């Protein structure tokens, strides 16, 4: 059976008080709209139409692709005359079919595939209407029942005091019979407090026509929370983050403090990883078994091996081999390959560099655009002077090299295997293998004079 979905994402989101459209505000490193599209993908709903405004339209394709959809249709709603109007606009763009059409609010980032499947499976007659019991007060639309049957939805702004006491809410997730939706949508009016065409008025229409509306009560109201302002954004972020942490903890990851651990959706954490407080792990990071990350660390696109320890550090777009030690206070900026058992210590910044297995930079160094061979040691205070004001140049250091404290390596420059530089040396020219360079500018010393 073909299922199509319409995501409503054209609202102005005025309550966010933001230049950025509401559905592009981020939770756990992804736009709100991404979360809704990902839930649809997880529920195997691939035919998706997003109703957008002019500000959102240009971002829809990229967000959808990131969420795993090959393509989605974007339909412009200008001006925005309400959720019912948004659905009318979408239906006008879609060829007429018989079947189920899902409609979801784009501002419900906590929705998950299970609830979407329940709505699809629960449709009987015109509509499966997802509802949730929620603590009051609430700005959600209230479900008005007569006996067991749903008779209508009243928006909080249109509700009487008695109706505001009702604690069953409209989630903003609907599975409609398409033919019946088309008929109901064409008859909506905007006779209400906001002078908008409310999608929710379709329910009273069905009831009047004698059609069945099947309520599906969500098990947990938190999965349908809407985000209308930044307070709700923070609350939803915290819930999503908690859900991500719990999934990893159940899969064998120790998270010392989920409240201060911030995870993004597409990361991989192996069993027996430990995450210490105040740590963020994002983008497509992968962390191998028995590694310990944190406290106070931020990782993005980090590919970390097994038995690695990273503390109080920032690691971006970097690969780190097994048994490496990083931090405290290291900054691995981007494009680094750190070998097995390497050691990156305090106040070391590394960019676009390769450190072979066993290489060490234990204190206070800047290593940029460099290649460092196996077991070589970079002394405290060493700088690769890689930038001449116009271009970046590479520094190449061989195996078993000892770079003395406070060496300045003026790139492009090459230090051969087993070579050594003395403390404070400024290296302007290549140092051949096995040689000892000292001074400013560096000169080569007879080997016997050097320890
Ligand atoms: C809506 C429901 C309410 C429900 C709540 C759940 C209606 C009339 N009310 O209220 O019953 O409890 O969601 O969160 O549907 N949008 C458009 N075009 C528009 C207006 C809105 O695409 O012209 C989109 C918005 O971007 C948003 C969604 O529809 O993603 C819901 O709109 P919003 O204004 O947030 O409705 P609520 O007041 O939250
Ligand atoms: Mg809303």
* Residue 403: pLDDT band with limits 50, 70, 90: very high
Model pLDDT, residue 446: 80
Residues 298-321 have pLDDT tens digits of: 999 999 999 999 999 999 999 999
349 Cα to the center of ligand 2, angstroms: 44
User: Tokens representing 123?
Assistant: 């449709």
pLDDT of 449 over the 60 cut = no
In whole angstroms, give the CA distance from residue 288 to residue 305. Answer: 5
Residues with CB under 6 A from ligand 1: 8-11, 51, 77, 80-83, 85-86, 105-108, 140-141, 153, 155, 169-170, 172, 198-200, 226, 228
From the list 437, 448, 393, 388, the residue with the least C-alpha distance to 415 is 437
* For the CA of 53, the nearest atom of ligand 1: 22
Ligand closest to Cα of 156 equals 1
How many other CB atoms sit within 10 Å of the CB of residue 62?
A: 11
Residues 167-214 have pLDDT tens digits of: 999 999 999 999 999 999 999 999 999 999 999 999 999 999 999 999
Residues 148-158 have pLDDT tens digits of: 999 999 999 99
Model pLDDT, residue 176: 98
Model pLDDT, residue 450: 53
In whole angstroms, give the CA distance from residue 409 to residue 376. Answer: 15
Residues 6 or more apart whose CB falls under 8 angstroms from that of 345 comprise 325, 327, 330, 360, 361, 362, 363
Residue of 59, 212, 290, 363 marked catalytic: 363
Atom 13, ligand 1: residue with shortest CA distance: 172
In whole angstroms, give the CA distance from residue 69 to residue 45. Answer: 9
Residue 82: is it exposed, middle or buried by C-beta count within 10 angstroms (0-12/13-18/19+)?
A: buried
Give the percent of the chain with pLDDT over 90.
97
Residues 107-144 have pLDDT tens digits of: 999 999 999 999 999 998 999 999 999 999 999 999 99
Ligand closest to Cα of 52 equals 1
Residues 23-63 have pLDDT tens digits of: 999 999 999 999 999 999 999 999 999 999 999 999 999 99
pLDDT of 12 over the 90 cut = no
* For the CA of 51, the nearest atom of ligand 1: 22
Model pLDDT, residue 441: 92
In whole angstroms, give the CA distance from residue 358 to residue 375. Answer: 4
188 Cα to the center of ligand 1, angstroms: 15
The residue-averaged pLDDT of 378-382 equals 98
Residue 351: is it exposed, middle or buried by C-beta count within 10 angstroms (0-12/13-18/19+)?
A: buried
In whole numbers, what is the pLDDT of the chain averaged over residues? 96
107 Cα to the center of ligand 1, angstroms: 8
Model pLDDT, residue 58: 95
Model pLDDT, residue 94: 97
174 Cα to the center of ligand 2, angstroms: 14
Q: Are 419 and 376 in contact (CB under 8 A)?
A: no
The residue-averaged pLDDT of 233-245 equals 97
179 Cα to the center of ligand 1, angstroms: 22
Best of 32, 34, 83, 215 for a ligand 1 pocket test (most atoms within 8 Å of beta carbon) = 83
Model pLDDT, residue 448: 62
Best of 15, 105, 164, 236 for a ligand 1 pocket test (most atoms within 8 Å of beta carbon) = 105
Q: Is 309 helix (H, G, I), strand (E, B) or coil?
A: strand
pLDDT of 216 over the 80 cut = yes
Tallying the residues shown for the chain, one arrives at 451
Is residue 363 annotated as part of the catalytic site, yes or no? Answer: yes
* Residue 2: pLDDT band with limits 50, 70, 90: confident
């Amino acid at each position: 059976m073909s299922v199509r979905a319409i995501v409503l994402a054209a609202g102005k989101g005025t309550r966010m008080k933001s230049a950025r459209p509401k559905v592009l505000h981020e939770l756990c490193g992804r736009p709100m709209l991404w979360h809704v599209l990902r839930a649809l993908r997880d529920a195997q709903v691939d035919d998706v139409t997003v109703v957008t405004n002019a500000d959102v339209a240009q971002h829809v394709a990229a967000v959808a692709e990131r969420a795993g959809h090959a393509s989605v249709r974007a339909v412009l709603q200008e001006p925005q005359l309400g959720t019912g109007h948004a659905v009318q606009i979408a239906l006008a763009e879609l060829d007429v079919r018989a079947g189920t059409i899902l409609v979801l609010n784009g501002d419900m980032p906590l929705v998950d595939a299970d609830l979407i499947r329940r709505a699809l499976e629960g449709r009987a007659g015109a509509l499966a209407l997802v509802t949730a019991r929620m603590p009051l007060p609430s700005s959600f639309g209230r479900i008005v029942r007569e006996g067991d049957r749903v008779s209508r939805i009243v928006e909080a702004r249109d509700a009487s005091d008695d109706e505001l006491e009702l604690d069953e809410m409209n989630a903003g997730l609907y599975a409609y019979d398409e033919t019946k939706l088309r008929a109901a949508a064409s008859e909506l009016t905007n006779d209400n407090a906001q002078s908008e065409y409310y999608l929710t008025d379709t329910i009273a229409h069905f009831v009047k026509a004698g059609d069945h509306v099947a309520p599906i009560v969500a098990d947990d109201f938190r999965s349908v929370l809407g985000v209308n302002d930044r307070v709700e954004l923070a609350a939803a972020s915290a819930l999503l983050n908690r859900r991500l942490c719990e999934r990893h903890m159940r899969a064998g990851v120790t998270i010392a403090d989920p409240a201060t651990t911030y995870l993004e959706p597409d990361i991989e954490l192996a069993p027996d990883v430990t995450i210490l407080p105040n740590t963020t792990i994002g983008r497509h990071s992968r962390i191998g078994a028995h590694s310990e990350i944190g406290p106070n660390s931020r990782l993005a696109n980090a590919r970390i091996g097994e038995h690695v320890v990273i503390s109080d550090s920032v690691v971006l777009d970097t690969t780190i081999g097994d048994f490496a030690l990083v931090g405290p206070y290291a900054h691995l900026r981007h494009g680094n390959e750190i070998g097995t058992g390497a050691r990156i210590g305090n106040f070391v910044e590394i960019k676009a560099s390769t450190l072979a297995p066993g290489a060490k930079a234990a204190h206070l160094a800047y290593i940029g655009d460099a290649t460092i061979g196996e077991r070589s040691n970079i002394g405290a205070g060493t700088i690769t002077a890689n930038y001449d004001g116009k271009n970046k140049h590479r520094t190449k250091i061989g195996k078993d090299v000892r770079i003395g404290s406070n060496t300045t390596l003026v790139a492009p420059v090459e230090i051969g295997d087993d070579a050594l530089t003395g403390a404070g040396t400024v290296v302007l020219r290549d140092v051949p293998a096995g040689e000892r360079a000292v001074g400013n500018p560096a000169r080569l010393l007879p080997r016997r004079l050097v320890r």
